[in-house]
Amino acid sequence: MAVKTAQRQLKTQSAQRTAHSAQPSLIIEQVFIMKNIRFIKFFTAVNTITFIGLLLGFSQFSQAADLTNTDDIIKQANMASYYAGDDGSAQARMIIVDSNGNKQLRQFTILRKDKQDLGDQEMLVFFSRPTDVSGTVFRVQKQVNADDNRWLYLPALDLVKRISAGDKRTSFVGAHFFYEDVSGRNPAEDNFTLLTTTDSVYRLKAEPKNANSVEFAHYIIEIDKQTFLPLLVNYFDQQGNNIRRMEVLKTTKIAGFNTVVHSKITDLTDHSYTEMQFRKVKYNLGLPDNIFSERSLRTAPKAWLK
């Protein structure tokens, strides 16, 4: 009996020692778990904040600030429209549709060379189809600080006809495009006002400085914010009637330059129109200066027209 009592006391003491020795271990484990939980929460919070910050930062980086200076917008639009590369060539086709639906075709090749960006230019347009205009050549000396010089060579008469500055807003070989549309209107001739800015375009109003030199009172132009190509131009008369429209139907990137390859001008008074399509567009060909001369009107530089 005494022996059994002594054994129970020994078991009790052993159990107490085991319990006492287990308490510090349990406490340590609880502390370790709590610290890890706090660390996980902290790590998750930090990473969430970092991710949001990166997301916001990327969003701000990817969306460039809108331009508000009209001169900057127009300069970039002029550069994108008429000064891609140092020079260029393209084959073009115009389909002219009158108010009765009758169609005519004009096919030609354009050569262009810049003297400097947003500066003076040389341009030649060689007509190949139809036969009644084949051999006709249009030449332009574009001058930023003066009126452009324009000539039209008529092979049937072997005549070089100078196009006066007053005729620049007249039909280009029977099309709805004007002579000025082909070489580009000088932005210095208009006063521009920024009307609205959307997610995709800048919308500006342009009023001619010399109202007597043009057929419109003002025009509204929409310029793509990414490419700076004018996508839509509506012309209005003194009574506010929308009389003429230029619209871009297709663009593509060629040799790194955003390029209009299909456009349309409509006479809204009778709904006749001309579509212009470009193919075989090339840039930075290294065109020599000497081909932009009167000699090329009669003797085309065939090597550059392929």
Report, at the CATH architecture level, how domain 70-304 is classified: Clam (2.50)
Instruction: List the domain boundaries for the chain.
Output: 1-63, 70-304
Which among 250, 136, 133, 125 has a CA at the least distance from the CA of 182?
125
DSSP state of 239: T
The 10s digit of each residue's pLDDT in 138-187 is 999 999 999 999 999 999 999 999 999 889 999 999 999 999 999 899 99
Which among 153, 172, 142, 154 has a CA at the least distance from the CA of 294?
153
More confident call, 189 vs 37: 189
* pLDDT at position 290: 96
Q: Which band of pLDDT confidence, cut at 50, 70 and 90, is reported for residue 306?
A: confident
Enclosing H/E stretch for 19: helix 2-62
DSSP collapsed to 3 states, 20-55: HHHHHHHHHHHHHHHHHHHHHHHHHHHHHHHHHHHH
* pLDDT at position 185: 94
Which among 263, 265, 205, 198 has a CA at the least distance from the CA of 74?
205
CA distance 230 to 75: 12
* pLDDT at position 38: 52
More confident call, 58 vs 105: 105
* pLDDT at position 165: 85
pLDDT of 4 strictly over 50: no
Does pTM top 0.85 for this prediction? no
CA distance 115 to 289: 10
